[in-house]
Amino acid sequence: MSDAGPSPFDQHPFDYSPWWFWRRATPEQQEQQLELQRELAARTDAALGERVFLSTLAAVQTEHLELGDESYVAAHAYLTGSVRAGRNCTVNAFTVVRGDVRLGDAVRIGAHTSILAFNHTMTDPETEVFRQPISTRGITIGDDVWVGSHVVVLDGVTVGDKAVLAAGAVVTKDVPAGAVVGGNPARVLRWRVPPAGAAATARSGDLGEQVSAFVGRAREQAQDVLARSWRPDLQDGLFVDRPGHPVTVRAQCDAVEIADLLLGRAPDQRPAAEQARRLRALQDPKTGLVPTFDPDGVPLAAAADLSDGDVAYHVLCVGYALDVLGSGFDHPVHRVAELDAGELVEGLQSQPWEGRAWGSGAWVDMLGTALRWNLPRGVRGPAGAVEALVGWLTTHVDPRTGMWGTAEGNGGLLQVVNGFYRASRGTFAQFGLPLPHPERVVDTVLEHTRNAELFAPERQNACNVLDVAHPLWLAARQTDHRAPEVRVLATRLLGDLLGHWTDGQGFGFQAPHPSTAALPKTVPGLQGTEMWLAILWLLTDLVGVSELLGYRPRGIHRPEPALRLT
């Protein structure tokens, strides 16, 4: 048999096992391969590195092709569009790579995998799908990624460095660096390389020990944090956010919440009953709204316009500060109680949901919280108003994101996610209602947190982190969708948060860092301290160690529903 020549079952050894070619092929076969590559480069836009192999049984119909050193394309692979691959990349037998696809170095793709960087639109139901335009966003796969056999990667996906796509995975969303994903749709199963924040947390000691040590330090310094912002010379004593800042209504409320979280009582600067009396006295009995202060701490005339951001937020912060103090508003929020269902819906529809969803969500938060104070008094307002608010939100949610509004012009999700937090906090969370699409909320938030411009440790601010921590926590009450990824993210953000505290001063609204030291928002103050302490509870609860804090928010960021709608 040895004299009979090659077996009929082994006529194409290098086409199906390309890794042998440059070690076992004859000089003649190697020269034929090089000539084939030169012909391809002469006919098409192709740039091929050293020791590349292209099977003659493959269909290479690309507009642009780049293959780095020692990369190969095996038999029956099908490549179209613009394909760029680094060194040591493999496109194994029967693999399909189509569209605008970018592979880093050492991306190994198993047989029968499809990487499809385009999609058919289907917006016109009267036109057959195959006749409708093609859309494409492209696929990017990082360095040192292992792609198993029979994997499908869909358009728009980014796969991080050192990830593993398990055999048969259908990848529809971005894959974090170092993650091992599998299933349909693919989810994180475990970690090949833990995220940097989680790894740093693990290296520096037990997470529970770190949390316990931090909250102990914060309690010891709580009096200093509050005293730093106290101005005894203003109207018999008022709080400012931080030294040198003007007096605000919000600062009085933040002080109450911080003292409740860390000390379990009202701020010691004034008796609790006196603080409650002063907050109640701020409310305009005609509108039920709370005005702002002038520079000397004197309340201005009450605003009737619900679009005034400070006045609208006072419905939340003053109401909940009073609640924490065991008191409440003296009057209903009449300005909201006057809205009938038609006016309420008109107001919702007139909000700038497209591109400015945060402001729209803040308006919803104010409406919902006003209802939270009015309803227990029996002040429901005109018939159908409550139902109109909840009904409008339920029927106008985007099922693709689980949220309201549309992304900014640059495709970012900041406005959508932050707007969702405000709108859902004041309605679904505050009234104990289930979210319409909790899985999509998780997907959207996880995609949003991949934006390093917002979530790198030195870029974080309390608003952006709170506005992802609360939606993830709220959605987790209904679903365990992508729970391992949520836990890893919460661990990373928690590790970052524990480094944001400044001894004796508290938290700045924005994380401190040498590159941002000149920004006023990095200076510690009451607002940043209150928000980060609430975030701390949410993140520790997501990772299962919240009991170590010894506190549970009772104010604006309380986890339990404040009122059940019946």
| Pair 170, 95 in one domain | yes
Report the pLDDT value the prediction gives residue 9, as an integer from 0 to 100: 67
Give yes or no: residues 158 and 289 share one domain: no
Give domain status of residue 554, yes or no.
no
Other Cβ atoms less than 10 A from the Cβ of 382: the count is 15
Instruction: Find, among 314, 318, 368, the residue nearest to 344 by Cα.
Output: 368
Do residues 188 and 88 both lie within one domain?
yes
User: SS3 for 208?
Assistant: helix
CA distance readout (Å), 275 to 176, 270, 325, 331, 490: 48, 6, 8, 17, 35
Does a structural domain hold residue 483? no
Residue 494 falls inside a structural domain: no
* Residue 115 counted as domain residue: yes
Domain termination residue (choose one: 300, 331, 362): 331
Provide the residue range defining the domain that includes 245. 229-331
Tally of domains within the chain: 2
Asked if 173 and 43 sit in the same domain, the reply is yes
Q: CA-to-CA distance for 238 and 260, rounded, in angstroms? A: 17
Task: Evaluate whether residue 363 is within a structural domain.
Answer: no
Selected catalytic residue, list 12, 112, 120, 245: 120
Query: Do 128 and 235 fall within a single domain?
Result: no
Report pLDDT for 2.
Answer: 47
Q: Tell me whether residue 153 is in a domain.
A: yes
- Which two three-digit tokens encode residue 23? 């070690």
- Co-location of 58 and 171 in the same domain: yes
> CA-to-CA distance for 566 and 563, rounded, in angstroms?
9
Residue 399 lies in a domain: no
Q: What is the CATH number of the domain that holds 159?
A: 2.160.10.10
pLDDT reported for residue 5: 59
Shared domain check, 170 and 82 = yes
Domain boundary among 331, 359, 374: 331
Burial of 559 (0-12, 13-18, 19+ CB in 10 A): middle
* Residues 182 and 270 occupy one common structural domain: no
- The whole-angstrom separation of Cα 390 and Cα 386 is 7
Instruction: Enumerate residues 6+ apart whose C-beta is below 8 A from 26.
Output: none
Do 240 and 176 fall within a single domain? Answer: no
Residues 271 and 126 in one domain: no
Please check whether residues 179 and 243 belong to one and the same domain.
no
475: closest CA among 497, 444, 451, 449?
444
Q: Note whether residue 508 is domain-resident.
A: no
- Kindly list the averaged pLDDT for each block of 10 residues, start to end, along the chain of length 566: 59 88 93 94 91 95 95 96 96 96 96 93 83 87 96 93 94 87 84 61 62 93 97 94 95 98 95 96 94 90 77 96 96 93 92 92 96 91 86 96 83 91 97 96 95 91 97 96 92 92 95 81 96 97 90 93 84
How far the first Cα of the chain sits from its last, in Å, is 86
pLDDT of 307: 77
* Same structural domain, 107 and 174: yes
Output DSSP code: residue 406.
B
Instruction: Find out whether 255 and 226 touch, Cβ atoms under 8 Å.
Output: yes
Q: How many of the other CB atoms lie within 10 Å of CB of 183?
A: 13
Express each pLDDT in 318-328 by its tens digit.
999 999 999 99
Assess contact for 73 and 61: CB atoms under 8 A: no
Indicate if 120 belongs to the active site.
yes
**309 sits in which H/E element:** helix 309-324
Final residue of a domain: which of 331, 365, 380?
331
Backbone angles phi, psi at 87, to 5 degrees: -75, 155
